[in-house]
Amino acid sequence: MVPKRQAKFLQKLVIALCIVIPASFVTHCGIALVFNPKLNQFVTSTQTPDGTSTSSQPISIPEYTGNPSVALSDTSGLSAAPATKEPILTKLDSSGRCGTVEMVVSLETAPSRGEKRGSIGMVKPSGWHTVRDDSLDGKYLYNRCHLIAWCLSGMNAEKRNLITGTRYMNVEGMLPYETKVSDFIFAGGGRVCYRVTPDFRTGELVARGVRIQAYSLADKGKSIDFDVYCYNVQPGYKIDYATGEATKID
């Protein structure tokens, strides 16, 4: 029979674990990822080789200085740990916001080249506004941005994979990295562990940006190994990230 004092301790421990464990997103590529909005940092916890402990490393997000993206570190921080080809999708929160999405992308997950993407107009991501501006490439300020690109995952109108993103972030920020991985896959490079984390701050419906990490598995990162942050901004506009409303500025 368990002593009464010990039973109470065990009960408290179970409750604490139920609260703490879901607070971080533990991925199939051997890493946990948490964004701390107060410190403006991502915190990563990487499993040690013996599998018994973890180490945490905060990664600060530089302020936007005119470049659509910035490298956060020299390597992705991912590993060649066993991974499923099925996407790992975070449930939308109470505000309808997406979380981290991760997937091992390959020729098996990518649509064939030349295949046309279906409509996604029915999806209204958190903070969505239709803002037409004929002076912009694409004629609209906002796009429905796939966290993991359709050309890599085949996921199209998946609400857990779509955020409100500026045309600038979508085309100037994210697309070059998506194209790099897509070209690698179609050139026969094999599988790539690919993770995207939207940077939502407390009380805001539009992400400040996205963190993209990618790692080529077959050659242990020799071809693809990056960790970058793409800014959800649009030159010439001031964005209210709490609501998604935008004001054109001179």
Domains with residue ranges and CATH for the chain? 65-248 (3.40.570.10)
| One-character DSSP codes across 161-199 | GEEEEEHHIIIIIIHHHHHHHHHHHHTT---EEEEEEE-
Give residue-wise pLDDT tens across range 185-197: 999 999 999 999 9
CB contact at 8 A, 151 and 178? yes
Rounded Cα–Cα distance for residues 37 and 24 (Å): 14
Provide the percentage of residues in the chain whose pLDDT is more than 70.
Answer: 74
Rounded Cα–Cα distance for residues 30 and 76 (Å): 12
Rounded Cα–Cα distance for residues 119 and 108 (Å): 22
pLDDT at residue 98, rounded to an integer = 97
| One-character DSSP codes across 23-43 | GSEE-TTSEEEEEETTTTEEE
CB contact at 8 A, 200 and 125? no
Q: Is the pTM of this model over 0.75?
A: yes
Least confident of 12-16, 111-115, 152-156: 12-16
Give residue-wise pLDDT tens across range 65-81: 999 999 999 999 888 65
